[in-house]
């Protein structure tokens, strides 16, 4: 079952591996028996479905979740249900890839207006005058 990101981008099953592990926290006797937490591993660096710039942005967005091998690891243990945790992990991966698809706007440097420069200099002169008047003669 492939994970659909957009109309054109789809992550194939072979690119993702899921491992179910025991979850921490409260749960009584059940917590020691059931592996409900999910660790979703997406081999992003080797993925043919993502273009290069998107991979670079994804790497920056992933932060500590990015491994040295170029994989993105998402760990979810929010609920006691394995299926729900798996769904949450897949949703998080899709959301992260969607964010990486957005091209950041290029900053256009602007010059301050003449009026704003004059107001700034006038305020500085007034402030320096106040400080000068405070000094001892």
DSSP structure class, residue 21: E
Q: Is the full-model pTM beyond 0.85?
A: no
3-state secondary structure 52-118: HHHHHHHHHHHHHHECCCCCEEEEECCCCCHHHHHHHHHHHHHHHHHHHHCCCCCCCCCCCCHHHHH
- Asked whether 47 and 70 are in contact (CB, 8 A), the reply is no
- 3-101 is a CATH 3.30.160.20 domain: yes
Exposure on the CB side of residue 27, measured as CA atoms within 13 A: 17
pLDDT tens, residue order, the chain (137 aa):
677 877 778 787 788 888 888 877 666 666 667 788 888 898 888 888 888 888 888 888 888 988 898 888 999 888 888 889 889 998 998 899 888 888 889 999 999 999 999 999 999 999 999 999 999 87
């Amino acid at each position: 079952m492939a994970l659909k990101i957009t109309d054109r981008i789809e992550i194939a099953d072979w690119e993702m591996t899921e491992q179910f592990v025991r979850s921490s926290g409260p749960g009584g006797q059940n917590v020691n028996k059931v592996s409900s937490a999910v660790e979703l591993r997406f081999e992003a660096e080797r993925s043919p479905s993502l273009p290069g710039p998107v991979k670079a942005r994804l790497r920056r967005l992933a932060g500590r979740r990015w491994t040295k091998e170029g994989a993105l690891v998402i760990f979810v243990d929010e609920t006691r249900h394995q299926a729900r945790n798996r769904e949450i992990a897949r949703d998080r991966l899709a959301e992260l890839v969607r964010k990486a698809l957005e091209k950041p706007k290029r900053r256009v440097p602007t010059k301050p207006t003449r009026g704003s420069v004059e107001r700034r200099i006038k305020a500085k002169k007034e402030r320096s005058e106040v400080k000068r008047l405070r000094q001892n003669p």
